[in-house]
Structure 1
Amino acid sequence: MNHTNQTETRITAHIRRTFRSLQHRNYRLWFFGQMISLFGTWMQSAAQGFFIFKLTNSVFYLGLVGFMTGLPFWLFTLYGGVISDRFPRRSVLLVTQTSMMTLALILALLTFSGVIKPWHILILSFLLGVANAFDTPARHAFVADLVPKEDLGNAVALNSTMFNISVIVGPVLAGLIYAILGPAWCFLLNGTSFLAVIAALSLMRVEYSISRRRGSAVEEVLSGLSYLKKRRDLLGIIATAGAISLFGLAFTYIVPAWAVKILNGDAATNGLLQAARGLGALITALALASTISLVGKRGRLLEAGALLLPISIVAFSFSRSLHSSLMTIMLTGVFHVLAINIALGLLQDLSADEFRGRVSSVYSLIYFGLMPLGSICIGWLASRAGEPNAVLISGALLLISTLAILKLFPELSSVE
């Protein structure tokens, strides 16, 4: 075999290893249906952030929208985990995705009609959070229903790839469509994009692994918490993700204000910043999809991502040009996905089948529940100390909290 053929063989093997979960029909349907839907989700997210800032001229309101979206996670996510373990996850996802489609179409209708007010967006954000509180545990646990255990790590990494492709494409499309047609079209396109994932779910044939126990919801929540209490490895992973959520994602809520006030830009600038962060995340997700099965102690990669993320956030706080902002925010995407992708893969791998939905719900409660606290705090801080100081403080707090968690859970470094 000549050198060219050997190179081609290695490249082909590398591609097959990277995308091996796509050989499974159900996962393939999920991957492409969800990716199309996520294009719309991120289109709306970017457009809505810029739209609400233009409506209110308030960076605090940006944080308030994030708070309203995340608040339902505190109220409903643990019960979402029980639902995920009790009922077929495909059915749960069909209900939640249809609900989110309806909310997007209502937002589009209000905006097209010209009657939209900031409080409408707050209410719709809260209702979206309710749907997400039930959707997220089911969505995370659903991956294990779509692929065999040996491909689970790869599937989680490809999920992240799919997510971050949409993070790149969605905001860029939002910037263009917002500038040309206005925000209502972004919201309408998001609503229609849900049809892709709803169709994909409808076409699946899934063998369900659900809990046969039929105790009360409270009993099943307590049973899941009791299981988790005995698993310090899972607790350490969730604590690390919680610190990232509280301090490491807060700055993303004020990116629209950063684009306008620090960079003197517009909706397109906001889209570029969001897309740059997504590009860094996508590169890392693809690398993990290819190499995750070869990694030994994944806990060490989790620690590395969790420690490098706050450093990149601090670097972003000192950027004052579009070029430096794009470079540093891209690094935040790299290290965020490195940490969270590893965390999600470990949680799915290490959790017992009968508790996977409830473990996912605790993760979702912590990860998504802390987001609104971080968003409203950074919005308040930015309104008083300025955006750069707010980002700097959040990065410093993330570094301190991560070091404390790694000290408290030294076993994380040996998790495989």
Structure 2
Amino acid sequence: MSGSGGGVFRALRVRDFRLFALGQIVSVAGTWMMVVAQDWLVLGLTDDSATALGTVTALQFAPLLLFTLYGGRLADRHDKRALLTAANLVSGALALVLALLVLADAAGLWQVYAFAFGLGVVNSVEVPTRMAFVGELVGPELLPNASALSAAYFNVARVVGPAVSGLLVAAMGVGWVMLLNAASYAATVVALRLMRGGASRPGRVAGDRAGVVDGLRHTVGRSDLLVPMALVAVIGLFGLNFQLTLPLLAKQVLHADASSFGLVTTVFAAGSLTAALATTARRGRPSARLVAGAAVVFGVLETAVGQVSSYAASVVLLFLTGGASIFFVQAVNHRVQLGSSPEFRGRVLALYTLVLQGSTPLGALLVGWLTERWGARSGFVVGGLVSLGAGIVAAAAGRRGAVRAVAVGSAARDREPSEERARP
């Protein structure tokens, strides 16, 4: 590649990363097809229960909170390519079993719960392993670009998967879509086995309990890391529950069928993709003001989604909200990653992953409870208002930090003359 495209897509020059990205696009598209099909199945089994939908989301993400640090240790000790191959094979097998149950009209809610939990356990190993593996594939210089491209291809899959899934659910039924998802895992497995490089060798294992505590102390002692971490925790808990709120909005407010629901999810993902591509051009560390501002904009847009009832207005606002959500998350990610000390970076990013992913199961249950009692709109309104408030608080904290930094600098300069006079 050359020209300007070479700047945006420069990590794709690495053959093994290019293979991995192609496999991931197919596999993640299948996963998002599964999300639409699974949500539609749960709503059908439970007469549109928001609590049941929230429980599925919680079961799928809770293992990430419980086991991700252990998954990271496995990634350090074992061949990452072998771990990723095994994880994708197990995920494919789980999806196949559920698909066959649905096709046989034998699937109940507890089987969906069991599948969600099993997939979450596998993901607790796959997610940290995949993050570390991408870094080894491209090297440190290309890692920021590869990270942004990973977010971009993830959102490409979010655009393609729901759109196709909505049409297929309407035409063929939920079971066949789940069967296609099971087959999609083969794309990543094939890509992994076609790689030539030796980038998957095990790394050195960091300290166990002491290392985690040191990383936590490092984060707590740095306000420029602690504030964005706290911000993403609050917004992740209340505002980033779209796997739950989008299907409820589509069915209860917009009265969409399966194909229209797929379109709603696709529009949201298209906004996310646009923002992800925009962040590939980022080369420096985002400022605290940018992170807080992104949270405020996201909060305003999400609140607006909960206030409108027109399908056309909802589509436009969902596109903008999808873009704002990814722009915010990527801004926090880059501020934390580029601001942490190199010796603590892995542990700080592990904590960031736990904060972002770990808030999802609690948020899903909380928002599910809210929407069960006050309707689908409440999930967007409450999430948006809390996100808006958190962004304003973070902006104020950033201003206080800047004022303190200026005051310390001024005091240091004021002391210099007296110190000079005191010298013999």
Fold equivalence (TM over 0.5) = yes
Q: 8 Å contact 2:160–2:266 — kept in the other structure?
A: yes
Within the candidate set 350, 355, 368, 1:379 is matched to 368
Query: Which range moves more in the overlay, 205-214 or 134-143?
Result: 205-214
CA distance in 1, matches of 2:110, 2:295: 36
Structure 2 residue 93 is the aligned partner of structure 1 residue 123: no
Q: 8 Å contact 2:294–2:324 — kept in the other structure?
A: yes
Structure 2 residue 57 is the aligned partner of structure 1 residue 51: no
In angstroms, what is the RMSD of aligned CA positions?
A: 2.5
Give the paired residue count.
401
TM-score (normalised: structure 2): 0.87
Q: 8 Å contact 1:310–1:399 — kept in the other structure?
A: yes
Matches within 5 A, 1:17-416: 17-57=7-47, 58-204=49-195, 205-207=197-199, 211-213=203-205, 217-289=208-280, 291-293=281-283, 295=284, 297-351=286-340, 356-408=345-397
The CA deviation at 1:209 is 7.5
CA distance in 2, matches of 1:131, 1:393: 32
Query: Which range moves more in the overlay, 109-118 or 347-356?
Result: 347-356
Q: 8 Å contact 1:21–1:155 — kept in the other structure?
A: yes
CA distance in 1, matches of 2:336, 2:64: 19
Report what 1:14 is aligned to. 4
Q: 8 Å contact 1:244–1:398 — kept in the other structure?
A: yes
Kindly name which structure, 1 or 2, has the bigger radius of gyration based on alpha carbons: 2
**Deviation per residue, 1:125-151 (Å, 9 max, x gap):** 111111112222222233221223232
Gaps of 5+ in 2: 404-424
Higher relative contact order (Cα pairs below 8 Å, separated by 6+ residues): 1
CA distance in 1, matches of 2:173, 2:34: 12
CA distance in 1, matches of 2:402, 2:3: 30
Corresponding letter in the other structure for 2:254: L
Distance of aligned partners of 1:54 and 1:332 in 2 relative to their CA distance in 1, 3 Å threshold: same
Report what 1:4 is aligned to. none
Q: 8 Å contact 1:81–1:358 — kept in the other structure?
A: no
Query: Which range moves more in the overlay, 400-409 or 118-127?
Result: 400-409
> 2:141 aligns to what SS in structure 1?
helix
Corresponding letter in the other structure for 1:343: V
> 1:149 aligns to what SS in structure 2?
coil
The CA deviation at 1:357 is 4.5
TM-score (normalised: structure 1): 0.89
Q: 8 Å contact 1:136–1:364 — kept in the other structure?
A: no
Q: 8 Å contact 1:105–1:187 — kept in the other structure?
A: yes
**Deviation per residue, 1:300-331 (Å, 9 max, x gap):** 44333222111110010012121111111111
Query: Which range moves more in the overlay, 230-239 or 169-178?
Result: 230-239
The CA deviation at 1:68 is 1.1
CA distance in 2, matches of 1:145, 1:392: 41
Distance of aligned partners of 1:222 and 1:94 in 2 relative to their CA distance in 1, 3 Å threshold: farther
Query: Which range moves more in the overlay, 113-122 or 383-392?
Result: 383-392
Gaps of 5+ in 1: 1-10
Distance of aligned partners of 1:209 and 1:406 in 2 relative to their CA distance in 1, 3 Å threshold: farther
The CA deviation at 1:161 is 0.9
Distance of aligned partners of 1:90 and 1:226 in 2 relative to their CA distance in 1, 3 Å threshold: farther
Distance of aligned partners of 1:29 and 1:413 in 2 relative to their CA distance in 1, 3 Å threshold: farther
The CA deviation at 1:173 is 0.7
Query: Which range moves more in the overlay, 232-241 or 259-268?
Result: 232-241
CA distance in 2, matches of 1:201, 1:232: 40
Corresponding letter in the other structure for 2:17: Y
Corresponding letter in the other structure for 1:207: A
